[in-house]
Structures are given as structure tokens and as C-alpha cells.
A and B are shown apart, each in its own frame.
Chain A
């Protein structure tokens, strides 16, 4: 049982505020992904939970125990580093056994745990090797096995797959998900890769400039972005935004057409729609196709609406060539609105 509670945590490096007052609760056995561009503070937050960084203010609780004043070894955590941090002077076996020896477990218990986790990570044939004799993927497996062997309450992962090549990353991603789900530990996983985040997470915390913008399930984050940043950061291609002006009670003028929307007592809102949520039908947004990219199942069409870029993902049966005039109708239940000043969802 290890619920992680982060209360009002902030971190400054000199005059630079890396984290502004973060509040986040991660429930027991949950797989939480911290997602954001580089420099958004996600790794700093992870390192504060690990105890490798001291917060400037705030509290960290793990399993009902306040830990922010404790050193890493007393927090019941295990961590997997981006560059693996496999000890080069020890064999794979001794690497995995390292933490267990520090706990002074009996030799039989150590042997058992090392063998078990090595089998789990498919590295049982590498136990006698040194890190210099391993490939990147194998080192990553050793690092994960070393963390799992500790049987920690919490596993912290700092971009563990980012140094692997694309194919290996896909394979390890699926494997990690299975292994971590089976281990029933609470996991915090830091990544800048949205596909990784979507596929692994129970919940995603999207971070931007030292703040958590939204913490929700992957589908919720994708469908209902809490802020314009989330919509533009998540999704490939990202959401389309068009400035809209108020026409009347709940009616908005979006690039010449009238769309039903909220009545927030404002004159201006940003209309937003995902590229795959438009259909070709009469009476829609007037769009001029500029670039047509067939992707197999779908065709990505980059168009111009009112002089601004607008992307549409259309069925590949539809024939479009550059220069064509299209009429794109947004699916009404997929339309989202953002406040242009606060950028928050309306």
C-alpha cells in the first residue's frame, strides 16, 4: 500500500522557479506518467519524490508517511535512470543483488529474488556479464530488474526508454507495462513522448513551465484538454484552433460559419477541434488544401482556413489534391472551447 501525496511542492534553482506549487495524489498501484516538454520540471518533481532533490517548500508523503526530510534509502522507493546507471564494476547478478545486500537479506533470499527478477526481465543468461558487455536494451533490463528486486512500494522511472532505438522502445514499452502491472507497485514515469504516455499510463499529468496543467486518464486528456496547451501538445497532429466571435446566445461565428457553443459571457473564444473530428460535407468551414499526405489508413490534409493552418485527417478513400476547395464540418460533440486570455477550457 503506497499512495503518494505531493502537497504544495515548489522548487527554485536560484531565481529560476522550476516548480510552482505542485499538488498531486497518486493512488496505490496507479501508473502515473508525468508528461511534458524538456525543461517543464517533470524530472525535478520525480527527483523530489526520490529524495535526490530537496523541495524549496511543500511536503511529500509516501504510504501515509511524510518523507520529504528522509534520504532516498529510507523512502521505500526504487528508481530507473535514463542512462541506466548500471554499476560497471559489478556483474549483472551483483547489480541486481546490490540493494538486497544493503538490506542484509540472507544469501538464499538474494539468490531467489535475483533469479526471479532476471527471469521476469529475460536476462537470466546474462547474470555473469559486466555492463560493458551488454547492449543498451539489456542494460535497461538490468536497471529495471535491479529496481524490481527491491520489491519497493514505489518505482520511479526517468525517461527509461528514451536512449533505446525505436523498435526496441516499442518492445520494452509493452513489456514494462506487463511487468509493472503484475508487480502491483505504484509507479511514477517521466517521459516527453506522448505515445509512450498514452499507452502506459493509468493517468497522465501534463506539465508545462513548472505547473501541472491537467492530471487525468489518457483518453480524458486527449478528448477534453483542460487548457489550450494540452490540446496543442497532445495528439499528432495536434488540435486545430480558430478564433471565434460571439454571434448571439450560445452561437459563435467560426471562420464564417455558425457553431453552437457555450455562453460564457464573453465576446471572444477559441474554437478547437481535433483533425480527425471533421467530415467533408456541405455547409462547413471553407478550406483550401495545401499539402496532401496519404498515411495508409488515413490521409493527412493540411489546409488553409481563413488564412490560418488547419489540419484534417480524412478517410483515405476521399480523393483530394492540393488547391482543392473543401467544406469541413466539425463533429458537434467533439468541438471544444478555450478562453483566449486564460487559455483554460470553457
Chain B
């Protein structure tokens, strides 16, 4: 490096490229480490015996002791909370796709006044702080009898999931050329038939992905779940309440139970999430 300065030789373009490449690889590795190391530690500790979790030095390699997992699963209330989580997540999935997909279709196919404002507002709902909303909502839910029910919580989760449902389905429908629908109309279809016979089969994989994403959002959500439910806690709310007072190895097992399904779901639909962020998926 000092030689280059002294002799003042111009650096070749390939040098600059190599430097850029190094930077890219370094930041990629850093990001991966940032995300993967905690997950790795979580899994190692989940699959180790309680003695190993608290002991020192660490081996870093799981001993495949399923004691913690077994104890966690047989822990009173876990099964019920798991069932509640699934129920709320499925309801959220159905509600957010049922409401979000038509909105996405309308955004991609029709021109209407306030379209751009609507698109912005849909995303803005995510900017509204949930803690501010939670208490008034809880009071209202108690009045109408939705408190401590799966449906009530699913409605709150739908509000959180719907911006993504709208944006993902908007990008899906926009990817289907309008000519395909028009061709179907000239071939004897009305609007609904053309949608069902031509558009739906083409967007179905993407819709499924968007549904899974809504499921994951509900699955991971803890704040609203903790505020809105008492008896019918979802897994996240249940764990936050009971794991505080549990031994370390149980905390790890509970953490893994939350993280792993979410990871699998997101991995399954990653292609469509890229599309949502504007990176071409074709």
C-alpha cells in the first residue's frame, strides 16, 4: 500500500472492484452472523441437558438431550397456549387475506380517487403505536364481549398483518398482465369467472405465501396478546408470563418453540417477500 503511494501508480479498476467485493462479502457475513449466532445458541441450549446449560465451559455442540423440550411440552398450559396461538393465527390469516387480497386487486386494477393516499395509509397503520391502542381496545372489547377470545385477538392481529397482505397481493396482481383477463372476457367470461379461471390459479402460490406471512405475524405477536387475553393466552403471552420465573433451560426451550415455526414459515415464502420489497422474483 505504501509502495503504491510513493510510486504513485494509478490503481487498476479491478483493484477497486476487488475492494467493493470484499466490502460486500464482509457485510454479508456480518449480517448473517448477527442473525444466525443467537439462533444457533438458542438451539444448542435447547438440545442440551439442564446441567450443560448452566455449566461452564461450553462445548458449543448440542448433546441432543431432549429433557428440556420434553419437560417444556408437558408443562401445564403449554398445549392449550399452543392451540390458542394456532387458532388466532389461522383466524388472522383468513381475515387478513379475505380483506387484504380484494384491496390488493383493486389497487392494481382500478383507478380511483385517493388511491395513492390509500396505499400510504395502509402502511401508516403500522406506524401507529400499539400500546396506545391496546387499553382503549381492551375496554371496548370487554363492552362487546370480545375480550379474552381468539376472535378478538385475531382482529387486532389482522390490523397488524393487513398492510403486508395488501402490499403483497397488490404486487402479485400487478404481475398478471391485464390482457390475460381481457382475453378471458372476450372468450366468454364475466369479471368473476375471468378472475377465478385465469388470475386465481396464477396468483395462488403467492396468496398462500402472503397467508403464511400473516400467520407468522400473529404467531410472533406478544404485546396485544398479553393485553387482550387472560385465560386464553397464546403461546407468546403465556411464555412471557410464566418463563420469567422458570429455570434457564426452560426459557431456551420456550424460545425455540416460538422461533423455529416462524423461521420455517418465513423460509418457505421468502421468494414472495422479496417481491414485496420491490426486488424482482422472476
Contact = CB atoms under 8 A, between A and B. Distances in A.
* B is bound to A: yes
Interface string A58-76: 0000000000000111000
A85 B202 contact: no
A99 interface: yes
A79 B177 contact: no
Contacts of B201: 89
A89 B200 CA distance: 10
B180 A87 contact: yes
Contact of A98 (B177, B187, B202): B187
B14 interface: no
Given A50-B186, A98-B187, A83 B193 contact: no
Contact of A73 (B179, B188, B197): B188
A99 B187 CA distance: 5
Interface string B230-255: 00000000000000000000000000
B202 A79 contact: no
Contacts of A156: 186
A128 B185 CA distance: 24
A103 B182 contact: no
Interface string B196-221: 01100110000000000000000000
Interface string A123-163: 00000000000000000000000100010000010000000
Contacts of A83: 177, 179
Contacts of A103: 188
A102 B188 contact: yes
Q: How would you classify the secondary structure of chain B's contact residues: helix, strand, loop or mixed?
A: helix
Interface in A313-327: none
A289 to B, nearest CB: 49
Nearest to A78: B186
Contacts of A73: 185-190
Contacts of B269: none
A82 B185 CA distance: 16
B202 A72 contact: no
Contacts of B180: 85, 87-88
B185 to A, nearest CB: 4
Contacts of A233: none
A99 B189 CA distance: 8
A77 B186 contact: yes
Interface string A233-260: 0000000000000000000000000000
The interface centre, meaning the residue of B183, B185, B201, B202 with most chain A CB atoms within 10 A of its CB, is B183
Given A88-B202, A102-B193, A81 B179 contact: yes
A81 B201 CA distance: 21
Contact of A78 (B187, B190, B193): B187
A146 B190 CA distance: 18
Given A88-B202, A89-B201, A89-B202, A79 B182 contact: yes
A52 B183 CA distance: 10
A89 B204 CA distance: 11
B184 interface: yes
Given A89-B202, A102-B193, A81 B187 contact: no
A72 B198 contact: no
Interface in A63-122: 71-73, 77-79, 81-83, 85, 87-89, 98-99, 102-103
A87 B201 CA distance: 10
Nearest to A84: B179
B186 A79 contact: yes
B176 to A, nearest CB: 9
Interface of A: 50-52, 71-73, 77-79, 81-83, 85, 87-89, 98-99, 102-103, 146, 150, 156
25 contacts: A50-B186, A52-B185, A72-B186, A73-B185, A73-B186, A73-B188, A73-B189, A78-B186, A81-B179, A81-B182, A81-B183, A82-B179, A83-B177, A85-B180, A87-B184, A87-B198, A89-B201, A89-B202, A99-B187, A99-B188, A102-B187, A102-B189, A103-B188, A146-B183, A146-B187
Given A79-B183, A150-B187, 16 more contacts: A50-B182, A50-B186, A73-B185, A73-B186, A73-B188, A73-B190, A83-B177, A83-B179, A85-B179, A85-B180, A87-B183, A88-B202, A89-B198, A98-B184, A98-B187, A156-B186
